Structure 1
Amino acid sequence: MTIVVETSGSSGKPKRVIISDEAVQASTEAAIERLGGPGQWVLALPEQYIAGKNVIWRNAVSGAPLVRTEGAFTAEAFVEAVQSLEHERKYTSLVPTQLARLVDAAALDRSFIGPIARLDRILLGGQRAPFGLIERAARLGWRVTRTYGATETVGGCVWDGRPLRDVKLRLTDQIEIAGPQLADGYDDPALTEQRFVVDGSGTRWYKTGDAGSLISGLLQVSGRIDDVINSGGIKVSLAAVEHVVQTFAPDAVVVAAPHPEWGEVPAVVTTLKPSLAEIRAAVGNALGKPARPNHLVTVSVMPTTASGKPDRKRLTRLVASRTQERRRRGLFG
């Protein structure tokens, strides 16, 4: 049997992914093996997406009741859910936005620290974690594991840079993944043929669209291969810029903004108020002058998709509108 799971569509049009029972079983068994055994889980993610479904599938192996957080994600509701766990092993999966809220809440109220430290593992995925977030969580005694994967790989199949059992990696012009956890494809045959390829030995690979490298045998993901802009003839990785910017604003998202002379330039969106001059200096030192952001857009609330990821499409439209308005004021104001 198969199920169809839709991707979140945070950087493009959502895709409908066809996943077999065998792929789900392979993913679940490999994850539980890496965790050290089955346990009871807190579900704090939307269950229609693959990360939430993985929580449900992995919890089912333990036979314990699944614990859900109710309503909007808050530190209080999450801690209450964690405290209700009764199994000897306790787990959860979060996205970085949620972990950041917990870390910030613990800085204001230390009573949150202990209950979350009872979790044997917090799996963190969905997007790149802001600079320093995992280190801040570790200082609280929280056990966080970075996961990397996609709906097409039944979620995270590389943990802290190391593939799960039977998962294979190779680097071509992008990261490619093989293994029994691969989806069958999409409900679009042409897209399936484009993203799932078979090599000469008969091994089937999923082309992730992400750039990365292997450092001391560990996978390092550097960003989307299409997340590169041409700014005045120079290629600039928005993911690399974002990584530097997050030292000043941990929630920052960097998107492309139109520019009348350079074509496109990096723009920063954040709920905080960092210094654009300091950001430009740091990015220039790390990545070169063409990578320096030209715009800083402050929002009261960071827009996210239903899965909790920053809504980059919406942010790109917002930045384009704001920069256009600023140019208009410069011309006519």
Structure 2
Amino acid sequence: MVPTSGAAQEISLLTEALGVGGAIDDAISLVISTSGSTGTPKGAQHTPATLSASAQATQERLGGPGNWLLALAPHHIAGLQVLLRAVAAGFTPVALNLDDGFDADVFADALERLDGPRRYTSLVPTQLVKVLDSPRATAALAAADALLVGGAATPAPLLNRAVDAGIPIVCTYGMSETAGGCVYDGVPLDGVEVRIDDPNPEGVGRVVLGGPMVAKGYRNLPDHPAFAEPGRFRTDDLGRLDDGVLRIVGRADEAISTGGLTVVPQVVEAVIADDPAVAECVVIGLPDDRLGEKVVAVVVTRTGERLDASRIRGLVAERLDRYAAPREVFDVDRLPLRGPGKPDRRTLRERFSS
């Protein structure tokens, strides 16, 4: 198969960023790409010790060793860790063929055949939506021992649907730089330290993560400020600690400046997700001559529902403020994704800016 121009460009970008073919420290066993939210992917460097620490901490938090079903792309850290956790526990993982996309019934078949004293799997929110739309897949997943969901923020309505269906869902937070999820349901795994730098009066600041699973810096970027402290990674995420529980508010590099005021997209998305007609939602900032940026919502409507933009604007204005309410609401069939299932905000900005 000949790569498309977009795929060829991505391969070229990754090859250069990860220094393919160049010398590397003997201690490094894995260079895993970040999801490239800023446009240029970086290669997080891991050792056997960082990967083992992550697998062991996950196993202890979930209740013991078990086998894993892979339903994610294995070239991203979340998918790769599914394989590594299974192998570390002494099992042979099962992998779904995702060439034709994610099929909930095929997922159910594989999960029911998975051997081991405990059965685990991991999904991104868009896959969980498909599972919950299939009674058979929902029942199969409810019988598993744990479902890890990460890669993108899980909307509260989706989380509630999963809990109501009896699915043993665990919301994870982490990234390539931390060997995957290192905070489960807001609580750090054993050995993980969470710090909030430069908090505002509400306690919201930059999230800094530390622990034995933190990467040994970036490939070919030895002085990157994110790794200025040994054993710690300074994220681009904004969060706060509530009685030791980490709450992620949004990303510092995705904040929208509108009329001199700052809007965090994820805060607005959480409000819009409560609208009964909304299945998925992404909030972005688009150029505006008067405001600098205007708040815009891109929505996937639930089957059988009708989108009401005025209702969405009113909901946001009531719960947050008028300046955070979207000036425009676009209805789309599906959201573009990047990495392990994160909304591709850059593509949406390009699409709706034209």
Q: TM-score when scaled to structure 1?
A: 0.90
Partner in structure 1 of residue 17 of structure 2: none
Q: Does 1:185 align with 2:217?
A: yes
Partner amino acid for 1:165? D
Cα offset, 1:151, TM superposition: 0.5
CA distance in 2 between counterparts of 1:19 and 1:88 reads: 29
- In the superposition, relative to structure 1, how do residues 11 and 279 fare at CA in structure 2: closer, same or farther (>3 Å)? farther
RMSD over aligned Cα atoms: 1.4
Partner in structure 1 of residue 95 of structure 2: 68
Partner in structure 2 of residue 195 of structure 1: 226
How many positions carry a matched residue from both structures?
Answer: 312
- Higher RCO (Cα < 8 Å, 6 or more apart): 1
Cα offset, 1:271, TM superposition: 2.4
Question: What are the ranges of 5 or more consecutive residues in structure 1 without an aligned counterpart?
Answer: 322-333
Cα offset, 1:291, TM superposition: 0.5
Question: What are the ranges of 5 or more consecutive residues in structure 2 without an aligned counterpart?
Answer: 1-26, 199-205
CA offsets 1:90-143 (integer angstroms, 9 cap, x no match): 00011111111111x23xxx3333211111000011111113111101111100
CA distance in 2 between counterparts of 1:98 and 1:11 reads: 24
SS for the counterpart of 2:240 is: strand
CA distance in 1 between counterparts of 2:279 and 2:38 reads: 20
Cα offset, 1:10, TM superposition: 3.9
CA distance in 2 between counterparts of 1:241 and 1:291 reads: 7
Cα offset, 1:300, TM superposition: 2.1
SS for the counterpart of 1:14 is: coil
Q: Does 1:152 align with 2:177?
A: yes
CA offsets 1:33-70 (integer angstroms, 9 cap, x no match): 11111111110000011001110111112322211111
User: Which of 105, 108, 112 does residue 137 from structure 2 map onto?
Assistant: 112
User: Which of 328, 331, 334 does residue 301 from structure 1 map onto?
Assistant: 334
CA offsets 1:216-257 (integer angstroms, 9 cap, x no match): 221100010122121111111111111111112231111111
Cα offset, 1:19, TM superposition: 1.0
Cα offset, 1:170, TM superposition: 0.7
Partner in structure 2 of residue 241 of structure 1: 268
CA distance in 2 between counterparts of 1:296 and 1:261 reads: 19
Partner in structure 2 of residue 257 of structure 1: 286
Partner amino acid for 2:218? Y
Partner in structure 2 of residue 325 of structure 1: none
CA distance in 2 between counterparts of 1:9 and 1:128 reads: 17
Kept after mapping to 2: 8 A contact 1:10/1:310: no
Q: TM-score when scaled to structure 2?
A: 0.85
Kept after mapping to 1: 8 A contact 2:269/2:282: yes
Cα offset, 1:306, TM superposition: 4.5
Correspondences of 1:218-229 after superposition (within 5 Å): 218-229=245-256
Q: Does 1:22 align with 2:49?
A: yes
Greater alpha carbon shift after TM alignment, 204-213 vs 42-51: 204-213
